[in-house]
């Protein structure tokens, strides 16, 4: 299987990668133009090499940054004088093009109630991969909450561990009470998800914040949470609330790209 097929296989499994290609080389270098390497979000070399050593290590770090922010990068390296910061002594020059191979963004909907069911439809229509989680297994089914790509019923602290929480993940917490939010928000705040929104009134969120601070969650961490969730459009019905949530998720996604 060649490196492009491997990248396509990871993309099909919703696993982000970055393809690193030497686009220019001169002088004495370990690998020439056209050499490729595929990197995972954790920095693992999935396939290929561009020469090893310190230069490859630096490219891997850039590749991880590209996976996190979705930005293309170019790395230019002289391999001459390590005492001046060069990543080698071969004597040549290398330029590496780093392209993030990003997956379809995922919207994780925690809570399969009325709003959650409406949000599944809108998120799929907007091009998101949708995962539904709920500790009420009887609600977290294709029959009662149709249209999602994956269903994770069970204890939320456990089912969240089965979900890839990446910079391409957006989380809508549509839970039935603040104790549930307090139980799982610390885990989400330790991840790299692009968005966390929590449903409920201002009073409910103030109560949750107090409990979270008692757990050691800082105000800087809490600033990453959008609560109450959604853009203010005076929404009342579950469908209208889903529209306001989806609008905020799309806004965050587009801001992240610009």
Angle CA 71–87–60, to nearest 5:
35
228-245 average pLDDT score: 96
pLDDT tens per residue, range 168-186: 899 999 999 999 999 999 9
pLDDT tens per residue, range 197-223: 999 999 999 999 999 999 999 999 999
**Integer CA distances (angstroms), 142 to 139, 164, 181, 191, in order:** 9, 21, 24, 28
Work out the mean pLDDT of the chain and round it to a whole number. Answer: 91
Query: In the Cβ-directed half-sphere of 45, how many Cα atoms lie within 13 Å?
Result: 15
Strand partners, 226: 197
pLDDT class for 85, splitting at 50, 70, 90? very low
pLDDT class for 82, splitting at 50, 70, 90? low
CA distance 106 to 16: 12
The structural domains of the chain, ordered by start, are: 3-101 (no CATH), 106-257 (3.40.50.720)
pLDDT class for 80, splitting at 50, 70, 90? low
Query: In the Cβ-directed half-sphere of 37, how many Cα atoms lie within 13 Å?
Result: 28
Higher-pLDDT residue of 145 and 13 is: 145
Residue with tokens 């969120």: 205
């Amino acid at each position: 299987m060649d490196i492009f097929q491997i990248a396509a296989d990871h993309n099909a499994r919703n696993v982000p990668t970055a393809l690193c290609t030497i686009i220019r080389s001169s002088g004495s270098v370990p690998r020439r133009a056209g050499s490729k390497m595929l990197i995972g979000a954790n920095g693992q070399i999935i396939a290929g090499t561009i020469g090893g050593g310190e230069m490859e290590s630096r490219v891997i770090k850039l590749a991880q940054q590209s996976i996190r922010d979705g930005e293309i990068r170019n790395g230019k390296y002289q391999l001459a004088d390590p005492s001046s910061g060069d990543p080698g002594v071969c004597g040549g020059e290398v330029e590496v093009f780093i392209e993030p191979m990003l997956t379809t963004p995922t919207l994780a909907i925690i809570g399969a109630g009325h709003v959650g069911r409406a949000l599944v439809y809108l998120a799929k229509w907007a091009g998101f991969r949708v995962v539904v989680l709920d500790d009420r297994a009887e609600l977290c089914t294709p029959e009662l909450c149709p249209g999602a790509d994956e269903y994770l019923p069970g204890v939320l602290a456990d089912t969240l561990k089965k979900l890839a929480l990446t910079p391409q993940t957006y989380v809508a917490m549509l839970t039935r009470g603040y104790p549930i939010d307090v139980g799982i928000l610390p885990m989400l705040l330790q991840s790299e998800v692009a968005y966390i929104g929590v449903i409920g009134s201002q009073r409910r969120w103030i109560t949750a914040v107090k409990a979270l601070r008692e757990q050691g969650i800082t105000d800087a961490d809490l600033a990453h949470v959008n609560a109450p969730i959604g853009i203010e459009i005076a929404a009342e019905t579950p469908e209208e609330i889903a529209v306001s949530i989806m609008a905020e998720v799309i806004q965050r996604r587009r801001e992240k790209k610009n």
